[in-house]
Structure 1
């Protein structure tokens, strides 16, 4: 009898500990700490990826877009060129739209204007939680619709995403509407559950899969979605438009193998580039010239001659 009590007590303790870790995990995910906006601008300025003079003189329009999730999204339509062709840029978790300016400068050189915006609960946008692409994909749908309404049906629209922004891009294209002309996914995760398994693998003393499973149940109750719903690897199988997959081999946070898996799963037009250098979200920062050449090659390969002439 005493042994049964001890076993029961041990089981109860384990379950309680698992539940506690699950709650802690969902808290960290939902309310992940954002980078200070001033820090982002200072970092980008110091690295010469943000030029205040260019930004100040660039023709631009601030937009406030209603999210179908019940808050507002704030972004800036940068219009340095006389063209309607536009790239929508989705930043990574903890960043904001100012981190996207470096890509805006690249796309300007390639013939595109850009729309940069803050994801939910980032920067100046509303929203109480971060959902790693689940709710963000619906926000992106509202943004694409708004931008399309401004630039017209004849314009080229592409979507570029980094990290969480890349996952959001693929989830949008593969599960809502594949209506952009092309997508660029830079260091996206393929399966949110597998990413969480890696993150917590060495940080908790109990079975990590049980912990993630319990956290999944808790997340459904707290924020209304399952980790199982955040799987770009499934979404890419539905994308027919061209996708450029990018990752760096030095990325230890989101493994490059995830991008390789998604590239293999994607049917139809696609390209893959694995940079030798650059940690997570650093492919552009470490390989700027080669990155731009890669994007130019992708556009030349998959955008029609008519579209290319319109970009010039």
Structure 2
């Protein structure tokens, strides 16, 4: 009997280890989109005009990450005399090319721009994806580089999509509320809650069964806890204005997550729930409305502040 129990115990441990490695592998090394695919997709959808983009005055810059690799950034300066910038944080599996469609909105409104690749994406270094835990420090490195070039009085906002939106909120809520405003498009409110939902959706079993195992293996392999990736727990620390965006039909990151973040945010805020499009498609499917809500937000919370700088 003891031998049988020992065999069963060893088998259970082996199975748990294998499952933990599999889940953590999927989290840390989520499959990325090919860079050429993203470029071709954006050109085909007429969200990127290669001729206009190539004509923009821009500079490729490598920014050191505090974790030892290099971050690839593109500084776009059609208004070199204006100290007014937007920084763009793309979503997981994407790269900086996906940020160009958002960048164009702000170039038309007199902003210079910075688009960059998150760790392990595009041309940036870094071995794993951490959904905002390490990425928030890289965002701070990009902000610091901007400040070193333009001075502490530079006026800037940050726009993030999906993981980039969560990264933006974690940066502002944990590290520094340094930007003048934020726009967060389809952020998740809590990474553990998102994983629980995704596990249940894919495996057809209660996701909460797998969460402790995933957390243990991510802690061991990537040295952070899933618990630390939780914008909902730090949103109250952000004093600057935030525009929250989400699509009502998003079934990857549920729109209720953004609604929770909006409800908990104190102070100046706006919410736009797009009627068309699924995950990260609010701009693509509702372009005119998207630009209008951005204008409304800038007019209400941002323009006067910029004039007072």
TM-score bracket, shorter-length normalisation = over 0.9
Alpha-carbon distance in 2 for matches of 1:205, 1:87: 41
Please, which of 72, 75, 84 is the counterpart of residue 73 of structure 2? 75
| Counterpart mapping for 1:55-204 below 5 A | 55-82=53-80, 83-204=82-203
- In the alignment, is the contact (CA less than 8 A) between 2:32 and 2:121 conserved in 1? yes
The C-alpha deviation readout for 1:84-135, integer Å capped at 9, x for no partner, is: 2000000001100011111111111122111000000001100000000000
The C-alpha deviation readout for 1:136-161, integer Å capped at 9, x for no partner, is: 00000110011122222333110000
The C-alpha deviation readout for 1:230-278, integer Å capped at 9, x for no partner, is: 0011121110011111000010000000000011111111111111111
Alpha-carbon distance in 2 for matches of 1:93, 1:126: 15
Question: Partner of 1:32: helix, strand, or coil?
Answer: coil
Alpha-carbon distance in 2 for matches of 1:45, 1:69: 34
Question: Partner of 1:250: helix, strand, or coil?
Answer: coil
The C-alpha deviation readout for 1:29-73, integer Å capped at 9, x for no partner, is: 111111111111100000000111111110001111000111110
C-alpha RMSD over aligned residues = 1.9
Alpha-carbon distance in 2 for matches of 1:255, 1:306: 33
Query: Mean alpha-carbon deviation: is it higher for 196-205 or for 236-245?
Result: 196-205
- In the alignment, is the contact (CA less than 8 A) between 2:197 and 2:207 conserved in 1? no
- In the alignment, is the contact (CA less than 8 A) between 2:198 and 2:207 conserved in 1? no
Provide the residue aligned with 1:45 in structure 2.
Answer: 43
Question: Partner of 1:281: helix, strand, or coil?
Answer: coil
Q: 1:202 to 1:291 in 2, by over 3 A?
A: closer
Question: Partner of 2:202: helix, strand, or coil?
Answer: coil
Alpha-carbon distance in 2 for matches of 1:197, 1:177: 29
Structure 1 alignment gaps of length 5 or more: none
Q: Which runs of 4+ in 1 moved over 4 A?
A: 8-15
Query: Mean alpha-carbon deviation: is it higher for 157-166 or for 265-274?
Result: 265-274
Q: 1:308 to 1:106 in 2, by over 3 A?
A: farther
- In the alignment, is the contact (CA less than 8 A) between 1:64 and 1:72 conserved in 2? yes
- In the alignment, is the contact (CA less than 8 A) between 1:300 and 1:308 conserved in 2? no
Structure 2 alignment gaps of length 5 or more: none
Is 1:234 the counterpart of 2:233 in the alignment? Answer: yes
Provide the residue aligned with 1:277 in structure 2.
Answer: 276
Alpha-carbon distance in 2 for matches of 1:11, 1:260: 44
Relative to the length of structure 1, the TM-score reads: 0.93
Alpha-carbon distance in 1 for matches of 2:305, 2:296: 16
State the shift of 1:5 in Å.
Answer: 4.8
Alpha-carbon distance in 2 for matches of 1:178, 1:262: 16
Relative to the length of structure 2, the TM-score reads: 0.94
Question: Partner of 2:203: helix, strand, or coil?
Answer: coil
Question: Partner of 1:201: helix, strand, or coil?
Answer: helix
Provide the residue aligned with 1:23 in structure 2.
Answer: 21
Alpha-carbon distance in 2 for matches of 1:194, 1:18: 21
Alpha-carbon distance in 2 for matches of 1:217, 1:57: 49
